[in-house]
Structure 1
Amino acid sequence: MSVPDSTHRETVTEIPTSWVGPIRITGSSVSGEISVPLATYETPLWPSVGRGARVSRAVEGGIRTVVTGERMTRSVLFTARGAVSAQIASQTIEERFGELQEVVSAGSRHAKLLEAHPEIVGNLLFVRFAFTTGDASGHNMVTNAADALMERILSWGLEIEYGSISGNFCSDKKATAVNGILGRGRSVVAEILIPHELVASGLRTDAQRVVDLVVRKNLVGSTIAGALRSANAHYANMLLGFYLATGQDAANIVEGSQGITYA
């Protein structure tokens, strides 16, 4: 009987990469003209994004951006004797929230506890903790913090037991309504006001047609498809290209695909 060779072999998968831009951006984190790397096998993406970049450079201020939220989440799971015990535990967590903030701060220089959002299903208590994590995405950081929080909560003598360090209410790398509503990672709004003459010369259409297409395709089309907090053409294309080019966790594109285009 042959045994597969289990020796670790490191190799490299090459993905075509191109710098696109510069893109004119005005925001609190970045202001000015910057180029971005996009790694993709769908190489027509480069000139497509490049056209938008040209339009941004022709508009005063370019694309204006604002970060509306920044957090990383981890939802823990407790099992209780019943719904009453779960509710008592939920209320206790809310009442002693300051103590939990101190637990997180004592264990990490960067993680800060922002909020705890509980949900009860039968005898199951889910608690979705949200943290700031500095410049890191913070997946491991919040897991360590959640572990310390569970230990402290279980020490309070409530009628609950350990269920799981992650109860999938976080929700990590899955398209969910809770991430779109409460936020996970960075939430950003980007807007641009394009003059009529530039819409005609740079995009070869007019403003009314753009608005009509956004309503009919992005808003109505996405609604009948049952999209989860998503009404856009293809945010995922650009974000995934950027993630791959910069060494990010590409699976986060699931959440990165969520967003609304409005005109």
Structure 2
Amino acid sequence: MTKKTPAERAPSIPRDKTDNFTDSAIEARHDFISERTGVSVAHVAHTSQDPAQLPGNLENPIGTAQVPLGLAGPLRLNGEHAQGDFYVPLATTEGTLVASYSRGMRIISEAGGVKTTLVERYMQRAPVFHFADARTARDFGLWFKANLADIRAAAEGTTRTGKLSHVEHYTIAKMHYTRFNYTTGDAAGQNMCGKATDAACKWIMANFSDAPIRYTLSGAIDTDKKHSQLNTIHSRGARVVAEVTLPRELMMKMTRCDTRDLYRARQVSTLGGLHAGTTNNGLHAANALAAIFIATGQDAANVAESQAGLTYVELLENGDLYWSITLPSLIVATYGGGTGLATQRECLEMLDCYGAGKVGKFCEIVAGTVLAGEISLSTAVVSDEWVNSHDAHGRNRP
């Protein structure tokens, strides 16, 4: 292959090494886009976001991607952290989505509200330690547990907020896989946990003298930005349950659906999901999560983990329907990351969920919203309104 000369290489994106977040640096990139592609970025460039606030969130800024924002609600929450009626901002380009979630929220509210329970919340980093044989790897695990207090001190010395709760251990072949579990305050905490765990690993390297040792900071069982069964079993982020009992008469009145038909539909859907190997036996948790994540400055890639869910329904003797969804790996934050950016902060403030001490409340609102969407879509399918609703509200027409 012929090596290109510097003159033949594609030009680099303009970048100001002293301050890449000034108006002039951004305008230089606008000119670059126009010269290279012939596209004017009038809409992309139109933003109220102060570029000086972007370091740490973005590189080479050129403007803002504007996603339409709608409001769904009211959603009545009977949670441990969230109580009352909430109006939820949803960023989406999918027609019918906001209307569908509003419908589900009205059903839940008329039924008395959704009960939400935050079971636990941890973030992980999962280093793997390498040895000459399996026996040494096993014995290292015993040494690790005996020295956990010192390992914890090394990890927590890097953070004011993160606390090492517990460590899981798995010996595989001649490697010892670990999974460090931290509480992270109101932050999602991936970077916090990475830094803390690296410090712990360095302490281990300096103090374990029984055998040669090396480590890889992530052995992949933390499954960052992807689903895993381990996350469903042991939780990643928050494990939160949303549940409601739907009176049969109310459902007949509001949705023209008999709870017995809804129960049967859930059985069919769960069986189909089992056959397909899905990670969620519900309908569309990712719709709510993506829309809320974009609106409130969450890491959108965490939808890959957060969408996993376990739906359980029970037809009661009086004909009412108990419905719950458990989200075992809901990764959200009310502090840090993109939550402090202008529009994202406003959306969190609409929910009274911005800043310290609010993440539990936000977890419960998100879980309640997911449940509302499950109920709304299920009733639309059972009552044969699904296609007509999308045809009426989900198509762009000139």
Separation in 1, partners of 2:291, 2:177: 34
Shift of 1:162: 2.6
Q: Could you say if the C-alpha distance between residues 41 and 150 of structure 1 is closer, same or farther in structure 2, counting changes exceeding 3 Å?
A: same
Query: 1:164 corresponds to which residue?
Result: 216
Which amino acid in the other structure matches residue 22 of structure 1?
P
Query: 1:222 corresponds to which residue?
Result: 273
Moved more, 94-103 or 118-127: 94-103
Query: 2:13 corresponds to which residue?
Result: 6
The structure 1 residue matched to 2:185, chosen from 115, 119, 134, is 134
Q: TM-score, normalised by structure 2?
A: 0.63
Shift of 1:159: 2.2
Is the 1:79–1:123 Cα contact (8 Å) retained in structure 2?
A: yes
The structure 2 residue matched to 1:124, chosen from 154, 158, 175, is 175
The structure 1 residue matched to 2:232, chosen from 175, 180, 193, is 180
CA deviations over 1:126-156 (Å, ceiling 9, x no partner): 1111000001000110001110110111122
Is the 2:76–2:84 Cα contact (8 Å) retained in structure 1?
A: yes
Is the 2:130–2:213 Cα contact (8 Å) retained in structure 1?
A: yes
Is the 1:25–1:64 Cα contact (8 Å) retained in structure 2?
A: yes
The structure 1 residue matched to 2:148, chosen from 74, 97, 119, is 97
**1:50 partner SS:** helix
Instruction: Name the structure where strand makes up a greater proportion of residues.
Output: 1
Moved more, 28-37 or 158-167: 158-167
Q: Which 5+ residue runs of structure 1 have no aligned equivalent?
A: none
**Number of equivalences:** 260
Shift of 1:198: 0.9
Separation in 2, partners of 1:226, 1:3: 44
Asked whether 1:258 is paired with 2:265, we answer no
Separation in 2, partners of 1:23, 1:166: 39
Is the 2:127–2:218 Cα contact (8 Å) retained in structure 1?
A: yes
Separation in 1, partners of 2:162, 2:214: 23
The structure 1 residue matched to 2:203, chosen from 144, 149, 152, is 152
Separation in 2, partners of 1:147, 1:113: 13
Is the 2:131–2:174 Cα contact (8 Å) retained in structure 1?
A: yes
Question: Runs of 4+ in structure 1 displaced over 4 angstroms?
Answer: none
Moved more, 158-167 or 182-191: 158-167
**1:119 partner SS:** strand
Query: 2:4 corresponds to which residue?
Result: none
Is the 1:85–1:160 Cα contact (8 Å) retained in structure 2?
A: no
Q: TM-score, normalised by structure 1?
A: 0.95
Separation in 2, partners of 1:231, 1:59: 23
Q: CA RMSD in A?
A: 1.3
Is the 1:154–1:160 Cα contact (8 Å) retained in structure 2?
A: no
Alignment of 1:17-96 (within 5 A): 17-60=69-112, 62-96=113-147
Is the 1:89–1:160 Cα contact (8 Å) retained in structure 2?
A: no
CA deviations over 1:101-121 (Å, ceiling 9, x no partner): 222333321111111111122
The structure 1 residue matched to 2:283, chosen from 229, 233, 242, is 233
Larger radius of gyration: 2
Which amino acid in the other structure matches residue 40 of structure 1?
T
Query: 2:297 corresponds to which residue?
Result: 247
